Structure 1
């Protein structure tokens, strides 16, 4: 189901208004005197738009589909993490949840036998996006429901910075002497990454994948992974200038807006003393100390 169709299943119909266009003084006085009157928009001397609360609301959208998708998705994600992965990696330090979304998990897994582990968990994975000569490549479960797909085709993730919901950045390794190389998008320079020395070969190439909610693609192209990383370390917000076409009082105009693109502050989560990890507001804390192995 595409997002545009899914969005209609969770549309809040009670937020819709009734609209009346008035062209005479008598029409306007009649409309504003109604008990459902909310506000008015003066377009020009000859036209006023009057907004009313709707007296009758027809709940003709299948909202039961929308909230069922949300709840079932949460159940699937939690069930997979706690009842499959957590039971497989019994040592808590070997499995860490770094970030989660509606249908995805970003995990940090410590293991010496990754391929063997994935084979043991293959019943829950779709390996159709791997190179055809990879030993795990399999199209048998391609696009199968409730199967997980490794987003980057098992390429090593060098670094990840997650500042807030829908605002995160990946730095993905792309080494030329890996057996399975993905050409075309790798940058021909070596970042200052401590873990890069652990990768095979001397030349480490990388690709950045950036996600930034509410910012146009043109503005997002001006940012790099290092901008996310500096924002995390310094807790200093980064603004961007964006250009948009806006309709105001039925008139179209081009505007320039300045908005916060990256922020070290998360209004949904409490940042622990380490400055890297966070917990949801309302989470029961005995102290602000982070107990992650790398922060002790």
Structure 2
């Protein structure tokens, strides 16, 4: 049945809750992630390790001779629109297409990572720059006071910082 004008109908259209819809979206997202990992990544890279994952992301440790050559084989699965325009894999074909996988590092290579839990991790890139994420902590504090090594527990010493909140 289609309702053309709601005011002319005896039926009321009400959404009885957004939880079932949210769960369906989460389930679909998980299915996409698992399918990519097991059907695409595992087939392409026999020597890979799933280091960490979240609802909409995964970090893989891949051992291969040429990662970009390998990625050409699965380019239809990827959004490489964030890569530099002179990069061989740059394409706007899948830009912001739902279900396509985006390289959040835009072609840069991760060197090492400390992944404590979801939204609490740090990694270094081959150019020696650092990326740090700590949910609930201000960016200024993270950038100014926290270093990559602070995510690691050395000699059972913890680090405390003070920050102002509004």
TM-score by length of 1: 0.48
Q: Is 1:238 aligned to 2:159, yes or no?
A: yes
Aligned to 2:136, which of 206, 214, 226?
Answer: 214
- 1:1-296 alignment to 2 at 5 Å? 60-90=16-46, 94-174=47-127, 206-221=128-143, 222-229=145-152, 231=153, 233-245=154-166
Q: How many positions carry a matched residue from both structures?
A: 152
Give deviations 1:84-128, integer Å, cap 9, x for gaps. Answer: 1112223xxx10011101111111100112222101011111111
Q: Once the 2 structures are TM-superposed, how far is the Cα of residue 61 of structure 1 from its aligned partner?
A: 3.6
Give deviations 1:36-92, integer Å, cap 9, x for gaps. Answer: xxxxxxxxxxxxxxxxxxxxxxx84422221112111111111111121112223xx
Gaps of 5+ in 1: 1-58, 175-205, 246-296
Give deviations 1:234-265, integer Å, cap 9, x for gaps. Answer: 454333323334xxxxxxxxxxxxxxxxxxxx
TM-score by length of 2: 0.82
The secondary structure found in structure 2 opposite 1:239 is coil
The secondary structure found in structure 1 opposite 2:161 is strand
Q: Which residue number corresponds to residue 8 of structure 2?
A: none
C-alpha distance in 2 between matches for 1:225 and 1:142: 31
The secondary structure found in structure 1 opposite 2:88 is coil
Structure 1 pair 234–77 and aligned structure 2 pair: CA distance change class (3 A)? farther
The secondary structure found in structure 1 opposite 2:160 is strand
The secondary structure found in structure 2 opposite 1:145 is coil
C-alpha distance in 2 between matches for 1:234 and 1:215: 24
C-alpha distance in 2 between matches for 1:131 and 1:165: 28
Larger Rg: 1
